[in-house]
Amino acid sequence: AMEDVCAKFVSQKISKTRWRPLPAAALQPPDLFATGSWDNEDNRISIWSVGDLGNVSLNGEYQGEPQLLCDIRHNGDVMDMQFLDQERIVVASSTGTVTVFRHHQNNQTLSANQRWEKAHYHVDQDTSCGGAACTGVICNNPEIVTVGEDGRINLFRADQKDAVRTIDNADSSTLHAVTFLRTTEILTVNSIGQLKIWDLRQQRNEPSQIFSLTGDRVPLHCVDRHPNQQHVVATGGQDGMLSVWDIRQGTMPVSLLNAHEAEMWEVHFHPSNPDHLFTCSEDGSLWHWDTSTDVAEKPSFLHQGGRSTTYFSHNTINQSVVSAWLSNDPTKDRMEITNLIPNQTLSVNSLDILGPCLVYGTDAEAIYVNRQLFA
């Protein structure tokens, strides 16, 4: 419920929130996250610690609000951001530049470690106003893939000055997001409702597969791949719909789920518990989609602890969701959907989830941390 959530007002519109990844063997919950801002005179990359969970004040409240560890100015809006490793963060800018920032943990400072100026650009790299927004970045250390408004795909390698590979006219429309399908393949989504697979081993500059929304070709803004079942892919669109695709079959989504009332900005499967999926939207909501239990067993009351919960029976949204997400398994007959922030009015631009912890950022100039998501 809401009382598990710590808010921090930061006087910046927050465009991206990302947990620092944990070392492979780590058992502790995540402790650090990064944020990026947009639409401010002075945009910033900031590193936060989640605060001291164990510290309870006299009246029994957690003194757990996030603490700013360090920040640094960023040129342009932060369009996307991913940790490359424990210390480095790759940031995509509306100016078309891609920057790697290093977090120095010994003295809590941030510095620009590496920069690819105008990785994305309109017309030619030399015109001063030719930058095109870099809309998406994904990392698999040392590799970094970026996509942009210019329809370009770049493959960079950390510590190498020049792009390893550039696909110049990868798309005739804006590419909005990118993620890895496998180590050598990526998925992109674009502004005419297409999901494409690119095999980076191939020298051809064409996608190996193209999938498409039928009908109105609504722009797709975000994409994520199921962590264990790599054929299951989720995308979110400008109309707020959640689409689930099985890339082994057909060229259309397996299921279309009515979700938000405005643009869906991010979709994330829980990395270690992928029966849970999270989406956030311009409409000010953040939804938790839970296919993990047969909610037919649960009492169907709609309001519990201030959460509004909706049950969809799968035959109403076509026989979908195996792997939970694609199945006609009758035991998986229902899905529970909870709006984690019922009364937010401004856009929820970004969310990230790791272990029991959720972090999200909004146009209301606030960041929120929930550390007991499954409590």
**Number of neighbours of residue 183 by Cβ within 10 angstroms:** 10
Q: What is the Cα–Cα distance from 343 to 226, expressed in whole angstroms? A: 29
The predicted pLDDT at position 348 comes to 97
Q: What is the Cα–Cα distance from 14 to 356, expressed in whole angstroms? A: 22
Q: What is the Cα–Cα distance from 97 to 53, expressed in whole angstroms? A: 37
SS3 38: coil
The pair of structure tokens assigned to 94 is: 């509306």
The predicted pLDDT at position 307 comes to 37
The predicted pLDDT at position 53 comes to 56
Residues 6+ apart with CB under 8 A from 52: 63, 64
pLDDT, tens only, 70-106:
999 999 999 999 999 999 999 999 999 999 999 999 9
The pair of structure tokens assigned to 100 is: 């790697």
Q: What is the Cα–Cα distance from 306 to 289, expressed in whole angstroms? A: 17
The pair of structure tokens assigned to 60 is: 């029994």
pLDDT, tens only, 267-282:
999 999 999 999 999 9
Q: What is the Cα–Cα distance from 327 to 324, expressed in whole angstroms? A: 6
Q: What is the Cα–Cα distance from 105 to 370, expressed in whole angstroms? A: 24
Please state the separation of Cα 315 from the chain's center in Å: 29
Considering the domain 5-294+335-370 in this protein, what is its CATH number? Answer: 2.130.10.10
Q: What is the Cα–Cα distance from 84 to 28, expressed in whole angstroms? A: 20
Domain ranges of the chain: 5-294+335-370
Intervals of the chain under pLDDT 70: 1-3, 52-63, 124-129, 293-324, 327-334, 375
**Is the Cβ–Cβ distance between 288 and 340 less than 8 Å?**
yes
Q: What is the Cα–Cα distance from 155 to 162, expressed in whole angstroms? A: 9
